[in-house]
Amino acid sequence: MQAGTQKIVVLGTGGTIAGLAQGAAPGRYRAAQKPVDELLAGVVVPPGVTVQVEQVAQIDSKDMDLAVWQALLKACRVHLAQADVQGLVITHGTDTLEETAWLLQALLAPRQSVVLTCAMRPADAPDADGPRNLADALAVAADPKAQGVLAVCAGRILGAQSVQKLHSSRLDAFGSGEAGDMGRVRQGQVQWLRACVVPAPLASVEAVLAASALPRVEIVLSHAAASGAHLDALVDPDTAARHGVAPVRGLVLAGTGGGTLHHEIEAAARRAQAAGVRIVRTTRCADGWLQPRAGDEFPALPLSPVKARLALMLDLLGR
Could you give the CA distance from residue 242 to residue 97 in angstroms, rounded to a whole number? 32
Nearer to ligand ASP, 6 or 33 (CB): 33
Could you give the CA distance from residue 45 to residue 57 in angstroms, rounded to a whole number? 23
User: For residue 224, what are the β-bridge partners?
Assistant: none
Catalytic residue among 16, 94, 282, 283: 16
Q: Is 5 a catalytic residue?
A: no
C-alpha separations of 48 from 7, 8, 45, 89, 100 in Å: 9, 11, 8, 16, 29
CB of 71 to ligand ASP, least distance (A): 16
Please name which of 150, 165, 147, 161 lies closest in space to residue 15, comparing C-alpha atoms.
Answer: 165
Applying CB under 6 A, which residues contact ligand ASP?
14-16, 31, 60-62, 93-95, 118, 120
Nearer to ligand ASP, 166 or 317 (CB): 166
Residue facing ligand ASP at closest CB distance: 93
Would you put residue 174 in left (φ > 0), alpha (ψ -120 to 50) or beta? beta
Nearer to ligand ASP, 119 or 290 (CB): 119
CB of 61 to ligand ASP, least distance (A): 3
Contact of 66 with 198, CB cutoff 8 Å: no
Give rounded-to-5 percent helix, strand, coil for the chain.
30, 25, 45
CB of 14 to ligand ASP, least distance (A): 6
Nearer to ligand ASP, 63 or 236 (CB): 63
CB of 31 to ligand ASP, least distance (A): 4
State the Rg of the chain over Cα: 20
Nearer to ligand ASP, 31 or 251 (CB): 31
Nearer to ligand ASP, 6 or 94 (CB): 94
In sign, the C-alpha dihedral spanning 300, 106, 61, 212 is negative
CB of 247 to ligand ASP, least distance (A): 29
CB of 127 to ligand ASP, least distance (A): 15
With b meaning 16 or more CB within 10 Å and e meaning fewer, what string describes 51-79? bebebbbbbbbeebeeebbeebbebbeeb
Question: For residue 109, which amino acid is it?
Answer: A
Nearer to ligand ASP, 130 or 259 (CB): 130
CB of 142 to ligand ASP, least distance (A): 24
Please name which of 17, 104, 115, 33 lies closest in space to residue 69, comparing C-alpha atoms.
Answer: 104
Q: First-to-last CA distance in the chain?
A: 42
Please name which of 232, 279, 275 lies closest in space to residue 252, comparing C-alpha atoms.
Answer: 279
Q: What positions carry a catalytic annotation?
A: 16
